[in-house]
Amino acid sequence: MAHVPGFDSDVFISFGHHDNQAVGTEGWVSHFHQRLELELNTALGVSSTIWRDPRIGRASNFQREIEKNLKGSAVLLAVLSPSYRESKWCELELQGFVGGSQRVGDLWIDGRCRAIKVIKRPVEGDWHRHTLPESLGFQFFTVDKAATKSYELSQSSEQYQRLVTDLADEVRHLLVAMRRGRTVYLGAAPAQLSAQRARVRRELEDRRYRVIASDSTSSQDMLQTIRQAVNDAAVAVRFVTAQKDSEDSDTVAATERNCANAAHLPQVVVVHGSGGAQPWNQMVEEEDGQGTDSKDVEVLFNPRRDVLSNAVFEKLNQPQESRGTKKLVRIYLICTEKDNPLDRPQVRAGDLRTYLMDLGFEVKTPDPHSRGSEYSKDNRAKLKGCDAVVIYWGSPGQAWFDGRLEELRQATVRRRKPFSATAAYVTEPQSNVKVNYETREVDELIKQFDELDPSDVRLARFIARLGELAIRGDVDTHGSTSDQ
């Protein structure tokens, strides 16, 4: 079974017959095939499927077999050589795959070409360089410039083995990206939407898509499980209803939403309820921190089966931004020494820090042991180097909090660019001052006096801002700091 869903083979090796003539027990291509399969399986951690035609049988049957396997392969490796240039079959394979007539999907994935040149021997007139000039090539020969001659690398040499390892790593990147592109995260569904969820799953699997489903709400590491699943997917399908089935189902839905937003994943949100679509559009807009007419989130209110299916497949087929360009987003969690989770991990700030870290963000805190000018220097550096700020208002009084807001204003003036997101997290001990306090100095004022609540709309909006920042990649790379 291929590693990439929807394909019969991961790799198709295209080669000229003379390049596999044996001297001894096996030919060059046969040895290359075995070595590549070993390296690729090691790089992936699972078995891969590599197809190479045997060059036997009647020509008509052979051509049909070639076309079938070429269309069913995720990556083409073209073993370029004088023999390859003179082969009619090799020309058909290369033109069919690159031209698209014998290829399924785009030729370029995450900036990498699915057709890779394996240059076994140079060809007169630099034909090997002009063929697929934009494609990555791996040169399996050396050149003696003094003698103006080239020599194939020995397949037992260290240089040859390193080249195969590098080639396997390039193929691995392509296969992982293509596997993600054909993977859908199917969120948990309340009872009213369970049948619709099951139909979507069957239809995806019938079309040979990989489905990662959230079926359990009792996992001890629910956040990590959902986050990993979402990061492995190209599209998330979430199911929402006004009927609150249980506290556990609310938590799962909020976790799915926050993880999808943090990954900036395209989503289809299926809403079950009554009263018209507008209130639900507004609800999802508030939860996701962005308009429902965004290209990333599509809300379907009590959709027909065909409408839901079409929406999911449209999301899967639209051009996706490269997930490989995602940048690390740094958050400065400002708190007092008494609330610092580095020194006192049992405090509430520790729960907030862990939650943000589990979503993939880097969280900085003040140095709990620095004092005076040393503390001020550390604080200024982190205000300058981080992309977002959360002021944690726990044990101190209002004067301390007002002072941090003033620091935030001053830091914004000093920075090259404004913070991408700011928030204040107001928590225990509860007081009338905290309950009644309001400010527009931060983007989100989050008040949670009980336990950490991932379903809080304001917290979700803050996370959505950071998820979008990670994908855009316009984080401030100047003055980055390391946690103490």
Is the C-alpha dihedral spanning 136, 141, 146, 149 positive or negative?
Answer: negative
What are the domain boundaries of the chain? 9-180, 182-320, 325-472
User: What does the pLDDT read at residue 298?
Assistant: 86
1-10, 254-263, 388-397: which has the minimum mean pLDDT? 254-263
Q: Higher model confidence: residue 478 or residue 185?
A: 185
pLDDT bucket at 66, cuts 50 / 70 / 90: confident
Give SS3 for 271.
strand
Beta strands 183-186 and 210-213 are parallel
Of 1.20.1280.50, 2.60.120.10, 3.40.50.450, 3.40.640.10, the CATH number of 325-472 is 3.40.50.450
User: What does the pLDDT read at residue 468?
Assistant: 59
Q: Supply the DSSP string of 213-249, one letter for each residue.
A: E---S--TTHHHHHHHHHHT-SEEEEEEESS---HHH
- Give the DSSP H or E segment for 38: helix 28-44
Q: Which pTM does this prediction carry?
A: 0.68
What pLDDT, in 10s, does the model give residues 36-45? Answer: 999 999 999 9
User: What does the pLDDT read at residue 146?
Assistant: 78
How far apart, in whole angstroms, are the C-alpha atoms of residue 437 and residue 288? 25
Give SS3 for 415.
coil
What pLDDT, in 10s, does the model give residues 167-209? Answer: 999 999 999 999 999 999 999 998 889 999 999 999 999 999 9
CB 12 within 8 A of CB 70: yes
How far apart, in whole angstroms, are the C-alpha atoms of residue 349 and residue 340? 7
CB 33 within 8 A of CB 155: no
Q: Higher model confidence: residue 464 or residue 458?
A: 458
Q: Supply the DSSP string of 437-473, one letter for each residue.
A: ---SSSSEEEE-SSS--TT-HHHHHHHHHHHHHHHHT
What pLDDT, in 10s, does the model give residues 219-273? Answer: 557 888 898 899 999 999 999 876 555 555 578 888 888 888 888 889 999 988 7
Topology given in CATH for the domain delimited by 182-320: Rossmann fold (3.40.50)
Topology given in CATH for the domain delimited by 9-180: Rossmann fold (3.40.50)
9-180 against 325-472: fold identical: yes
What pLDDT, in 10s, does the model give residues 89-136? Answer: 899 899 999 988 888 888 888 878 899 999 999 998 888 888 887 676
